[in-house]
Structure 1
Amino acid sequence: MTSNPELIRTDRLLLRRVGPGDVRSAIAVLSDPGTNRFNPAGSPSAEQAAAMLVEWQAHWARDGIGYWAVELPETGEVIGFGGLRHHELDGEPALNLFYRFRPRHWGRGYAPEMARAAVEWAGPARPDRPVVIITDPDNKPSQRVAEKLGFAHVGDSRTVEGPVLVWRRQEATMVT
């Protein structure tokens, strides 16, 4: 696994640092009501999605990690976004693992593949921060991804949008 998180290749995906050229893809993915089915805040507007992309670029500049554009290498299509960013959860530093994919690419194992690469990178690169996944209580697909990665539901918390489930990586091996 590379020590540079800006570009990571998996078996089927290219994970690359987001940039200004990703604004159309960010709007398409993030504003799609299907990708926000479990988002209590609902779908962001095009302007809000573009602002999220700018925020993600700032995380990269400040922290040296962030969310990737997830591409299919053979076509260059951005099928989603995901990755890690510094987060404070109930007063403790952590790395939040996030993933959001175009609905037409669901069920193909892309989210676990991207997330597995993120977790594998974070272990040696940021051992001082546990990786967590924060899900809506009704988001069963995201919870299944967490379980496949060896995460366990360790508690509940609240965000400004409402209650969430907190998943933390266990020492057990990830399921493939």
Structure 2
Amino acid sequence: MKMYECKGSIPVLEGRRIRLRKMEVREARRVFTFWSDSEVTRYMNMESMFSPEDAEDMIELLNRLSLSEDAIRWGIELKENGELIGSCGFNHWQLSGAFKGEIGYELSRSHWRKGYMSEALDLLHAFGFETMKLNRLEAMVDPRNEPSQRLLESFGWSREGLLRQVQYTSTGYKDMLLYSLLYEEWNKKENGTYANHQ
């Protein structure tokens, strides 16, 4: 089976109302509006940003990580007006011997509870399972982040357990919930059947 190779390419993924695409440094001021919002970053493993320059640095870092195939991050764009409203992607993945990847996401507060992240998750599922040929997706969720838990569970993700003090942040060690979704579970839900994934 041919291994997935990113090589810095961040393909455009089209949804009904959103598209996932590469973030550009020139968009740092827009990205800063949600990366500086303490309500948005509350359960993330990063602190709220203090300046648009911080956002510039983060966008450059994320785009470099796609070159080294350590991560891939998309901006979430509204198709109707081109506005960036969040980001999502694979924090890391492992192919040989595991075929798994960990996802992460966030959305600007003014766009919560409108179904945009559900659309983004649909696109991540398809890309992870069909393009990257992953067998398992994982997500680390703060135990207090009930909306994120409900979102994942609505797609059939399984809560596997609590990982104690698994992350270190500026406020100390944090417990995180581990969620997972397997290819066969996603494929059965999508197609009503099992297929030869590998």
Length-normalised TM-score, structure 1: 0.84
Q: 2:43 aligns with which of 34, 38, 41?
A: 38
**Distance of 1:159 and 1:87 partners within structure 2:** 18
Change (3 A) 1:87 1:156: farther
Determine the structure 1 residue equivalent to 2:178.
Answer: 166
The 1:96–1:21 alpha-carbon spacing in structure 2 relative to 1, beyond 3 Å, is farther
| Equivalent in 121, 146, 149 of residue 115 of structure 1 | 121
Q: C-alpha separation between the residues in 2 aligned to 1:22 and 1:87?
A: 27
Letter in 2 for 1:151: W
Distance 1:159 1:93 in 2: 23
- 1:6 Cα shift? 1.4
Report the equivalent of 1:13: 18
Q: Which of 12, 22, 26 is residue 31 of structure 2 equivalent to?
A: 26
Query: CA separation in 1, counterparts of 2:129 and 2:66?
Result: 18
Rounded to whole Å, the distance in 1 between the matches of 2:92 and 2:32 is 23
Larger Rg over CA atoms: 2
Amino acid at match of 1:50: E
How many angstroms does 1:58 deviate by? 1.1
Question: Structure 1 residues 31, 121: closer, same or farther in 2, change over 3 A?
Answer: same
Contact 1:132 1:169 in 2 (8 A): yes
2:21 touches 2:75 (CA, 8 Å); kept in 1? yes
Instruction: Give 1:7 shift.
Output: 0.2
- 1:33-60 deviation digits (Å, cap 9, x = unpaired): 1212324654233244333222211122
**Uncovered stretches (5+) of structure 2, i.e. residues with no partner:** 1-5, 191-198
Task: Judge conservation of contact 1:66–1:84 (CA < 8 Å) in 2.
Answer: yes
1:14-163 correspondence runs (5 A): 14-39=19-44, 42-46=47-51, 47-63=53-69, 66-87=72-93, 94-128=100-134, 130-157=136-163, 158-161=166-169, 162-163=174-175
The 3 A distance-change label for structure 1 pair 48 and 160 is farther
Q: Can you give the 5+ residue segments of structure 1 that lack an aligned partner in the other structure? A: none
User: RMSD across aligned C-alpha pairs, in angstroms?
Assistant: 2.6
Q: Residues 21 and 41 from structure 1, CA distance in 2 versus in 1: closer, same or farther, beyond 3 angstroms?
A: closer
Amino acid corresponding to residue 15 of structure 1 in structure 2: L
- TM-score, normalised via structure 2 length: 0.75
